[in-house]
């Protein structure tokens, strides 16, 4: 292991007084005169890796004798397993910034690099032990590992993978905005909306852009099912071409996101829609009522005027007959006051039969009898006036007589 101490021991049987030589990569690195001989490697690095051999050497009678080399001892150097940590927490929010993963290794090693692996794939390499994750998404969820490696004169030295670090991503969905727009209403309103039946209207749902794209669900209070539209630029629209009475009710918009094998659903705020009759249909009954009333009034007025006209015509007829009778009487009076013209009175007596008298005939007879009675009374008054006149004349004659005296 890199940075640890190691030792190599060489021994030979039945010999003494000689020297052991430790060879590394065919080069003498250490010698010891003991048997057995232990060679210490105080801090193993990449330079200590490779094959090692032992050789025993003796000097006899001025002659140097070397034993054959020992079998090869291969020393490999490994990096220790790094450790991994995350800040601020393993539980992160979708869209979060500032999440960092730090890899550390116990031995002070220079010249190497750290690799950060996500789901066993290399995603970042840096000489710095700290890795900063970009904006967290659902793809950021999963296991992370660290590994350290260094280039050497031989093969690249690579550490074992660190223990696994798992990030769990969740999302906090906001309450979607829901508004209603119609040709009559104009702008999109989130308050209670009144829509004329027959008009089109649109329900628009939207969420802020700092949440993942998902699905909008539109719920209606009069139904147990919903309709859905995928979010495009974090919004969706639901179109109703012709509003009807069954469209009246409460609508709710829910935002739903699926990620990392889990489904997240937002809260909702409803909006109330009322449907109303068109103005024409509201005014039409009133107009019809007014027309009917005016028609009835006109009919009654016509009947009254007609009746009055008939009555005036009857009165004119009676008056004409009365005038005819009066004129005949006056003409006869001028010729001779003592003579009278007998004018046959209209037949106003009720017929012998039980047939009723007509209204016009009844009115005529009533007026004629009244005129006849008035004429009779006038004649009586004229007779009285003649008598009075005669009396007054006699008095004047008596006065003349008195004057002669």
Task: State the average pLDDT for the chain.
Answer: 79
Give the pLDDT score at 87.
95
**Domains in the chain with CATH codes:** 6-75 (2.60.40), 84-170 (2.60.40.10), 177-276 (2.60.40.10), 283-394 (no CATH)
Residue 273 or 405, more confident? 273
Phi, psi of 401, deg, nearest 5? -65, -45
Residue 400 scores a pLDDT above 50: no
- Cα separation, 353 vs 356, in Å, equals 8
Give me Rg for the CA atoms of the chain.
Answer: 67
Give the pLDDT score at 390.
42
Which pair of structure tokens corresponds to residue 17? 């007084």
- Cα separation, 306 vs 136, in Å, equals 95
Contact 44, 77 (CB under 8 A): yes
**DSSP codes, 255-294:** EEEEETTEEEE-----EEEEEE--HHHHHHHHHHHHHHHH
**pLDDT tens digits, one per residue of 17-27:** 899 999 998 89
How many residues comprise the chain?
A: 405
**pLDDT tens digits, one per residue of 53-111:** 999 999 888 899 999 999 999 988 888 899 999 999 999 999 999 999 999 988 767 77
């Amino acid at each position: 292991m890199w940075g640890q101490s190691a030792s190599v021991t060489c021994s030979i049987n039945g010999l003494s007084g000689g020297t052991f030589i430790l060879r590394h990569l065919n080069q003498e690195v250490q010698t010891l005169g003991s048997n057995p001989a232990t060679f210490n490697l105080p801090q193993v690095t990449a330079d200590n890796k490779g094959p090692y051999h032992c050789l025993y050497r003796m000097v006899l009678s001025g002659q140097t004798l070397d034993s054959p080399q020992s079998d090869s001892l291969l020393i490999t150097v490994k990096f220790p397993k790094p450790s991994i940590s995350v800040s601020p927490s393993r539980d992160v929010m979708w869209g979060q910034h500032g999440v960092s993963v730090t890899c550390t290794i116990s031995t002070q090693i220079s010249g190497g690099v750290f690799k950060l692996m996500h789901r066993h794939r290399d995603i970042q390499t840096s000489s710095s032990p700290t890795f900063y994750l970009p904006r967290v998404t659902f793809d950021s969820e999963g296991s992370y590992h660290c590994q350290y490696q260094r280039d050497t004169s031989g093969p690249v030295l690579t550490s074992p993978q660190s223990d696994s670090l798992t990030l769990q991503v969740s999302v906090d969905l906001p309450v979607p905005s829901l508004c209603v727009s119609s040709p009559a209403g104009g702008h999109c309103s989130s308050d209670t909306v009144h829509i004329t039946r027959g008009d089109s209207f649109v329900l628009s749902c939207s969420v802020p852009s700092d949440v993942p794209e998902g699905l909008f669900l539109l719920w209606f209070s009069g139904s147990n099912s919903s309709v859905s539209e995928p979010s495009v630029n974090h919004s969706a629209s639901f179109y109703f071409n012709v509003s009807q009475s069954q469209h009246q009710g409460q609508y709710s918009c829910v935002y739903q996101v699926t990620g990392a094998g889990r489904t997240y659903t937002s809260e909702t705020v409803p909006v109330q829609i009322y449907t109303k009759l068109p103005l024409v249909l509201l005014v039409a009954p009133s107009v019809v009522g007014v027309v009917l009333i005016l028609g009835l009034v006109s009919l009654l007025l016509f009947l009254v005027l007609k009746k009055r006209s008939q009555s005036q015509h009857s009165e004119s007829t009676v008056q004409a007959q009365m005038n005819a009778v009066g004129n005949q009487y006056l003409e006869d009076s001028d010729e001779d006051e003592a003579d009278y013209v007998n004018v046959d009175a209209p037949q106003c007596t009720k017929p012998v039969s039980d047939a009723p008298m007509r209204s016009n005939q009844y009115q005529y007879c009533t007026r004629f009898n009244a005129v006849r009675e008035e004429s009779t009374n006038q004649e009586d008054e004229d007779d009285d006036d003649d008598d009075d006149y005669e009396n007054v004349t006699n008095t004047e004659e008596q006065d003349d007589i008195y004057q002669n005296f």
